[in-house]
Amino acid sequence: MATVRYPIGILFSATGSYGTVGRTMLNGALMACDEVNRDRSSGVELVPTIVDPASVLSAYAPAVEAMLDAGIRHVVGCYTSSSRKDVIPIFEKRDALLWYPAHYEGFESSANVVYTGTAPNHHMSPLVDYLVSRFGRKAFCVGSNYIWGWESNRVLREDVTQRGGKVLAERYFAVGETDFSAIIEAIFEANPDFVFNALIGQSAYAFFRQFRQACLSRGIDQKTRFPIASCNLSEPELAEIGPGAVDGHLSSSVYFATIATPVNRAFVAGYQRSFPDGPTVSAEAEAAYIAVRFLAKALRDAGGGDLAAVKAALAGQSLEAPQGRVTIDPETMHCYLTPRIGRSRADGQFDILVEAERPVRPDPYLVHAAAPLEVVAQRPMLRVV
């Protein structure tokens, strides 16, 4: 079978405030490229052009423009929603395809994006189920001050409120903020059943460390009394938190490195072989890996890089990914994924506590999950006449 070469773009921030996650995504994408290129039967050779926007939002759009100018039609990239929102108009205007491998807050389905990360229904509902049944219904929310934090907290608030619970407070911090002393005092004062964390990068690591320390100095067992739950906590980030504060955190994700299947064991072993200096394998790495595998499959089936043909070839495609079977939903170009809840261990890995029986259909607009009307706290039943 003749092999066709395709230039592709890889756009992850391997440095800067969320560089750790960016590097695992880069590694996942490169690993898939390598596998595709070594597999002679794939019929496809991917030639990656790698750009590092260094966690600087304004660097993404020029990078994409340059890639498209160089004749690239497919770019695997972006971690934050703000960077994705920044570059989508370019992909739409110039009719190229962004392969976006990160969990995000939903409410989007651009015709020029394939989403291989989780939609909100994948990570939020299972997490709230778990938290409410194990810890209680009073939540304290902290988040980075951008769309991921706002929307994650909104979805959590609706879900908790519908189950008769309450969000005691929501606090937001600039991306990169690392002083949480005031908010930690506020958490003790509010006395929630759990803390929901939508902070990203360095802010999240600092918060985990400072909160654990503050609990220790008060003689409180943070893991059981004020567990922290996140939808964006993966193994490389546990390493960044550092020893002493790394264990006992809850994470809702579709992938953990400890998934005990032959496919995943081979994936983790291959990753560690390729990137012995880390960062360790993560959900984001797996999503980037899936994105490139799907890209190669669609290029081969479409017999070329033409966008309409690639999208047509991609619709309904499945592959056996490290997390299990992953299928592209033709309607939304998001993926059927398998939700799981993990609890971090001192060795920087997760114990899997809960796992969905089968892959769950993506619902980026929460069409099937959310109440038709926004949920508000219960009001007294008074009627003014």
Task: Identify the residue among 76, 131, 183, 366 touching other proteins (CB under 8 A).
Answer: 366
Residue from 110, 178, 210, 258 in contact with other proteins (CB under 8 A): 110
Contact flag: residue 370 with other proteins (CB under 8 A):
yes
Q: How far apart are CA 193 and CA 133, in angstroms?
A: 11
**Between residue 307 and residue 346, which ones bind other proteins under the rule CB under 8 A?**
331-332
The interface with other proteins within residues 219-278 (CB under 8 A) comprises: none
Q: Which of 47, 56, 66, 111 binds other proteins (CB under 8 A)?
A: 111
Give the type of residue at 18: Y
- Span near other proteins by CB under 8 A; candidates 138-146, 203-211, 221-229, 366-374: 366-374
Identify which of residues 152 and 230 has a Cβ nearer to other proteins in the complex. 152
Sequence-distant (6+) residues with CB within 8 A of 42 are 3, 36, 296, 300
Q: Which is nearer to other proteins, 212 or 334 (CB)?
A: 334
Q: How far apart are CA 177 and CA 91, in angstroms?
A: 31
H-helix or E-strand spanning residue 318: strand 318-321
Tokens of 137: 């219904």
Q: Candidates 6-14, 292-300, 304-312, 358-366 — which segment interacts with other proteins by CB under 8 A?
A: 358-366
Considering beta carbons, is residue 110 or 318 the nearer one to other proteins?
110
Shortest reach from residue 69's CB to other proteins, in Å: 24
Query: According to the binding rule CB under 8 A, does residue 384 interact with other proteins?
Result: yes
The residue type found at 345 is R
Interaction of residue 183 with other proteins, rule CB under 8 A = no
Which two three-digit tokens encode residue 353? 């506590």
Provide, rounded to whole angstroms, the least separation between the CB of residue 137 and other proteins. 21
For 83, phi and psi rounded to 5 degrees? -70, -40
| Ranges of H-type helices in 175-320 | 181-190, 201-217, 222-225, 235-241, 262-274, 283-302, 307-314
Amino acid (one-letter) located at 179: D
Q: How far is the CB of 163 from other proteins (least distance, A)?
A: 17
Q: Supply the minimum distance, in Å, between the C-beta of residue 222 and other proteins.
A: 35
Encoded amino acid at 308, one letter: A
Candidates 191-199, 228-236, 246-254, 364-372: pick the segment binding other proteins (CB under 8 A).
364-372
- In angstroms, the CA 22 to CA 28 distance is 10
Q: C-beta of 156: minimal distance to other proteins in Å?
A: 15
Provide the minimum distance between the beta carbon of 241 and other proteins in the complex, in angstroms, as a whole number. 35
299-303 contacts, C-beta under 8 A, 24 or more apart: 299/4, 299/6, 299/44, 299/74, 300/42, 300/43, 300/44
Which one among 64, 88, 127, 288 touches other proteins, defined by CB under 8 A?
88
In the complex, minimum distance from the CB of residue 370 to other proteins, in angstroms, rounded to a whole number = 5
Between CA 195 and CA 53 the distance in angstroms is: 32
Contact 297, 308 (CB under 8 A): no
Please give the residue ranges that form the binding site for other proteins (CB under 8 A).
88, 92, 107-111, 331-332, 364-368, 370-374, 376, 379, 383-385
